[in-house]
Amino acid sequence: MDLTFVANYDSRAVTKLAGLGYDLDALFLLCQELLNLQSDLKLDNGDLRDLVFRMKNRYNYMNGDPVDLKLRCEDASPSRITFQPNGFKTIFYFTRCEGQNDVPYKEASFFCELCGPSGRLYKKEIKSHVAYAHKNG
């Protein structure tokens, strides 16, 4: 696992993080307290994501930026899809391909996190990808 993985295979994010002086150790130190809080409160990853999202909204509000209180975390960042076919114990994760953040969700291309960022899939192709590429789940 390296900075590329943490930055979701987005080369622009890797370049920006490196330019700001962040490496994996620095990012871990930033996250350590938050991860301890997650453990202490027994939050799952979705709850932690929502907590960070609400904290960011509060921070924006304190800085005078407009905040839509009805907006949910899922609405603000549909950058990842999870899929668990019937009969599979494994959950498959698909992340938006680099440069797809401004593309409408239904038209965006994704990549399978197990296969890596080289393959591009549309949302409608995810089910068949799992059936053929990961049939042993």
Domain count, the chain: 1
Residue-wise pLDDT for 60-73, tens only, equals 889 998 877 666 55
pLDDT value at 115 more than 80: yes
Question: What average pLDDT does the segment 39-45 reach?
Answer: 89
Residue 107 has which token pair? 């038209």
pLDDT value at 74 more than 60: no
Residue 57 lies in a domain: no
Residue 97 lies in a domain: yes
Domain of residue 118 covers: 78-137
| Count of residues making up the chain | 137
Residue 22 lies in a domain: no
Distance CA 97, CA 107 (A): 12
Contact predicate 37/30, CB 8 Å: no
Distance CA 103, CA 108 (A): 5
pLDDT value at 95 more than 90: no
Residue 34 lies in a domain: no
Residue 26 lies in a domain: no
CA distances from 134 to 40, 84, 121, 137 (A): 35, 11, 15, 5
Task: Write down the pLDDT at residue 137.
Answer: 57
Residue 45 lies in a domain: no
Task: Write down the pLDDT at residue 73.
Answer: 56
Residue 39 has which token pair? 């453990």
Q: Which of 61, 83, 64 is nearest to 137 (CA)?
A: 83
Contact predicate 128/86, CB 8 Å: no
Residue 135 lies in a domain: yes
Residue 117 lies in a domain: yes
pLDDT value at 76 more than 70: no
CA 28 to chain centre: 17
